[in-house]
Amino acid sequence: MQKVIGVLRNAGSARMSRIAMVSILMCALAFGAACTGNKKEDEAAEPVPPTMLKVQNQAFLDMTIYVYRSSQRVRLGIANGNSTSRFVIPSNLIFGSTPLRFQADPIGRNRAPVSQEITVSPGDEVLLTIPPTA
């Protein structure tokens, strides 16, 4: 008789754990479905043009151009000497009006000047002029 009760108790706890497992699984599926969100873009919204940086490099040295947002530094590319280059500022750096700084790191030299902070909005074009060096 005791063995039968023991078996029933184990069967009952197995049934309870199965119910608990199914409940947890159903909750996880419900939360997963709720968190997927709406992936459609608003068709009525105006597309935002890319935010651009125009670099007029009047120096003879090529420059590696970086953008700073707070302490985050992102490499944009290389501005060749005595030429004008255009770079797209990544959209993940711009949130509304965002203060940015720019750095021109000359290839083959030690100095790397950083610009003053400028507030940039999505779709703006920023002009950075690098003067000739002596």
Distance linking the first and last C-alpha atoms of the chain: 102
Tell me, what's the pLDDT at 7?
38
Tell me, what's the pLDDT at 29?
65
Cβ-contact 16, 88 below 8 angstroms: no
Coil, strand, or helix at residue 55? Answer: strand
Residue written as tokens 């002596």?
134
Structure pTM? 0.65
Burial of 92 by CB count in 10 Å (0-12 exposed, 13-18 middle, 19+ buried)?
A: exposed
- Tens of each residue's pLDDT in the chain, 134 residues: 332 333 334 444 555 566 666 666 666 666 666 666 656 666 777 788 899 999 999 999 999 999 999 989 999 999 999 999 999 999 999 988 999 999 999 998 888 888 899 999 999 999 999 998 74
Cα–Cα distance between 55 and 107 in angstroms, integer? 16
